[in-house]
């Protein structure tokens, strides 16, 4: 059986891979609603289609690694509380599904740009409107994935806090970080502008959290005592 310390380090490696691949995907994505303000934006999308396809591939890969983290954590959390483990794993399945759906929207945008370029249609306005709708649909999925990710992460940090597999200050920091992401995402959905730094604070936490796991893993002296739902 893998020790807590080794499990924590494996989780740390996977989180590191997720962050690195996610950053790569973000840098290559090249999507924004402001992009559609240009009358030639579908031409721009077409010219950058290869990079965008790589971004989609990386995004799906990062989401797959996230699910693998949930698979590894499931039996560990289950030792403490089966219901909590099911919620954690179930949310990551939902997260993966939403990521797939949002990237399908991006691929549909690429198909639209190819059709626009190949047909050389003079009716650019309708094509641009369809392209904007695809971008809006992608970002709706993106926001939903952030909400689901925040909920799943909060469960993980709560579990780590209760079991003391990690120092409690780190768990509290994590819960606060994802609460800010969760709240800010809902604010954006309701039309409020949210500065990038609000999300960057979670990136700072994730970096510290990952380094801690890589160096120290989970607390090897912790014993997971089963609990009931009323104990949570």
Within a domain: 47: yes
Count of structural domains, the chain: 1
- pLDDT for the residue numbered 43: 87
Q: In which residue are the tokens 């649909």 written?
A: 137
Asked if 215 contacts 177 with a C-beta cutoff of 8 angstroms, the reply is no
- pLDDT for the residue numbered 232: 47
H helices of the chain, where? 4-29, 41-47, 49-80, 82-119, 124-163, 168-189, 196-216
The overall average pLDDT reported for the chain is 88
Within a domain: 198: yes
Within a domain: 126: yes
pLDDT in tens, 12-29: 999 999 999 999 998 998
Give which of 100, 189, 106 is closest to 140, Cα–Cα.
189
DSSP labels for 58-116? HHHHHHHHHHHHHHHHHHHHHHH-HHHHHHHHHHHHHHHHHHHHHHHHHHHHHHHHHHH
Angle at CA of residue 54, ends 189 and 105, nearest 5°: 40
- pLDDT for the residue numbered 205: 96
Percent of the chain residues topping a pLDDT of 70 = 91
- Which is more confidently placed, 151 or 33? 151
Within a domain: 232: no
pLDDT in tens, 145-203: 999 999 999 999 999 999 999 999 999 999 999 999 999 999 999 988 888 889 999 99
Task: Kindly state the average pLDDT of the residues 66-83.
Answer: 93
Within a domain: 228: no
Within a domain: 80: yes
Within a domain: 117: yes
Residue 205 has a CB neighbour count (10 Å cut-off) of: 21
Residues ≥6 apart with Cβ < 8 Å to 6: 217
- Which is more confidently placed, 53 or 191? 53
Measure CA 201 to chain center.
15
- pLDDT for the residue numbered 131: 86
Task: Kindly state the average pLDDT of the residues 48-55.
Answer: 93
- pLDDT for the residue numbered 1: 45
pLDDT in tens, 117-156: 887 655 667 788 888 888 899 999 999 999 999 999 999 9
Residues ≥6 apart with Cβ < 8 Å to 46: 110, 113, 114, 116, 117
Within a domain: 230: no
pLDDT in tens, 180-194: 999 999 999 998 888
Domain that residue 76 falls in: 4-223
Under the banding of pLDDT at 50, 70 and 90, the label for residue 225 is low
């Amino acid at each position: 059986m893998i020790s807590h310390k080794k499990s924590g380090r494996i989780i740390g490696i996977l989180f590191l891979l997720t962050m690195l691949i996610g950053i790569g995907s973000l840098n290559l994505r090249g999507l924004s609603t402001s992009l559609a303000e240009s009358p030639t934006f579908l031409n721009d999308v077409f010219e950058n289609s290869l990079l965008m396809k790589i971004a989609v591939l990386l995004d799906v890969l990062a989401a797959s690694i996230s699910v693998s983290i949930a698979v590894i954590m499931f039996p560990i959390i289950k030792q403490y509380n089966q219901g909590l483990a099911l919620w954690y794993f179930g949310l990551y399945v939902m997260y993966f599904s939403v990521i797939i759906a949002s990237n399908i929207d991006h691929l549909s945008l690429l198909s639209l740009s190819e059709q626009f370029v190949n047909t050389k249609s003079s009716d650019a306005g309708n094509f641009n409107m369809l392209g904007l709708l695809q971008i809006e649909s992608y970002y709706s999925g993106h926001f939903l994935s952030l909400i689901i990710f925040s909920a799943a992460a909060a469960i993980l940090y709560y579990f780590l806090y209760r079991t003391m597999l990690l120092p409690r200050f780190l768990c509290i920091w994590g819960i606060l970080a994802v609460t800010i992401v969760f709240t800010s995402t809902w604010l954006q959905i309701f039309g409020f502008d949210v500065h990038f730094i609000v999300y960057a604070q979670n990136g700072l936490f994730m970096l510290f959290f990952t380094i801690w796991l890589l160096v120290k893993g989970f607390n090897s002296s912790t014993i997971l005592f089963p609990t009931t739902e009323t104990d949570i």
